Amino acid sequence: MSNIFRLRGFLASATRIVEQHPGDEAGTLAELTPHLADLVAHDDWLPAHYATHDQQCYLQHLLYGDPLERLSVVSFVWGPGQETPVHDHLVWGLVGVLRGAERATAYHHGANGTLVAGESRILKAGDVAAVSPHLGDIHTIANAYDDQPSISIHIYGGNIGRIRRSIYDPATGATKSFISGYSNATVPNLWVLGEKT
Ligand code: FE
């Protein structure tokens, strides 16, 4: 049984918070972080379909897209050893690990336009980390495990699947424009699944 009410409650809180803090990234992230931490502290709500992984590439399952595109919530599922390219977001984002563990590595601009990797941080189940153009927006995320999948729940300050952004070659600083889209064609039925307990 999927306790989807946890996701419904999170989405209600997140919508109220983005409504109350238009243009205030710091205030939004400060208020939203404990709600995402609470959501990923419980691993009993994500419908099984949105926890599936693929052998070829990590999946980005859209769970909810705000009709006004103020936020989107995505379940990222990494197969063993999978990782993102170096990329940016152009909007604020929070990553909360639901299952397994992930390795997040921030990048900053170095000499000659190259990108230099900063310290890697291991995010364990229950941990939450932020990205944004103000905090540092260029990073990679990888499954910390090479023998099991990991899942994290991401919330972004826009419709992340539709934002044109960049992938970077860290050795040269060369960028490639991309739009990530989403892996799934449908979103979960938030209003029927699960019983309130
Ligand atoms: Fe990212």
Model confidence pTM above 0.75:
yes
Looking at residue 84, its pLDDT comes to 97
* CA 61 to ligand 1 centroid distance, Å: 14
DSSP notation for the chain? ---THHHHHHHHHHHHHHHHSTT-HHHHHHHHHHHHHHHHT--S-S-GGGG---SSS-EEEEEEE-TTSS-EEEEEEEPTT-BPPEE--SS-EEEEEEESEEEEEEEEE-GGG-EEEEEEEEEETT-EEEEBTTTB--EEEEES-SSS-EEEEEEESS-GGG--EEEE-TTT--EEEE----S-SS---TTTSS---
Please compute the mean of the pLDDT values over residues 9-31 and round it to a whole number: 97
Looking at residue 187, its pLDDT comes to 83
* CA 186 to ligand 1 centroid distance, Å: 22
Looking at residue 195, its pLDDT comes to 58
Please compute the mean of the pLDDT values over residues 23-39 and round it to a whole number: 97
* CA 18 to ligand 1 centroid distance, Å: 20
pLDDT, one tens digit per residue, over 121-174 is 999 999 999 999 999 999 999 999 999 999 999 999 999 999 999 999 999 999
Residue 194 pLDDT exceeds 80: no
Angle between helix 25-40 and 5-20 (nearest 10)? 170
High-pLDDT (> 90) share of the chain, %: 88
Q: How far apart are CA 159 and CA 66, in angstroms?
A: 8
pLDDT, one tens digit per residue, over 179-192 is 999 998 788 887 76
Mean pLDDT of the chain: 94
> 1 pLDDT band (50/70/90 cuts)?
low
* CA 192 to ligand 1 centroid distance, Å: 31
Counting every residue written for the chain, the total comes to 197
Looking at residue 196, its pLDDT comes to 57
* CA 103 to ligand 1 centroid distance, Å: 11
Q: Does domain 5-178 have CATH number 2.60.120.10?
A: yes
